[in-house]
Structure 1
């Protein structure tokens, strides 16, 4: 198994452990965003969603370590596990998004 695949799997398990009531689409967005922050490549578990696009934006052109990425992206008020914000609405208008959780779709007016 590659480091990329291992990081995806560990990140998914971490999201499920820390945010057990989150939607599966949020868990996928977290794992994919961690992979992007660490490896510069997203994907593996569904997506992209508006949450994934917003979460990955700070990592365009820069890489961080796994611990830094998970700490930042696990934030309960952050782009993945926090409320839908204007940044999510902007991502919906400008990016290809198709894997949003049903509650997120409602909040985004879809």
Structure 2
């Protein structure tokens, strides 16, 4: 029988392999995209496939948007806590849970969110957090701040 530590080490190793595979996929399919977007894609795919995220920093607004997209026809809610506002995601059961996706399907799901134009899903993710992280794409922040001023 495998110990919890050995199980954790195997899960971490698999997660690192998926992260590297996702970054390579991003560099091959979107070589023109900047490092910010490629890293967000890697983290998002890693999370969808393994349930673990954060290998390349984050979370950026694009990673938050991928998570928000998992709600599908579900919904999000906010609640005040003693540590501030928490955002809850009630997922549509037709959408697979993080950690259960196969690699190609995860890439297809995250691709347009991580490499496409800023859309309503990004603005919804932004409205939940409203704070810039060091690994948000400056172009994304400009688009989100400009839109927020409207």
Measured on the aligned residues, the alpha-carbon RMSD in Å equals 2.0
* Counterpart-to-counterpart distance in 2, 1:37 and 1:97: 23
Moved over 6 A (4+): none
2:21 alignment partner, SS class: helix
Larger radius of gyration: 2
Equivalences for residues 1-110 of structure 1 within 5 A: 2-57=13-68, 58=70, 62=97, 63-74=100-111, 78-95=112-129, 97-98=132-133, 99-109=135-145
Asked whether the 8 Å contact 2:43–2:53 carries over to 1, the reply is: yes
| Structure 2 unaligned spans of 5+ | 1-11, 72-90
Q: TM-score, normalised by structure 1?
A: 0.85
TM-score (norm 2): 0.64
The Cα shift of 1:25 comes to 0.8
Give 1:42 shift. 1.2
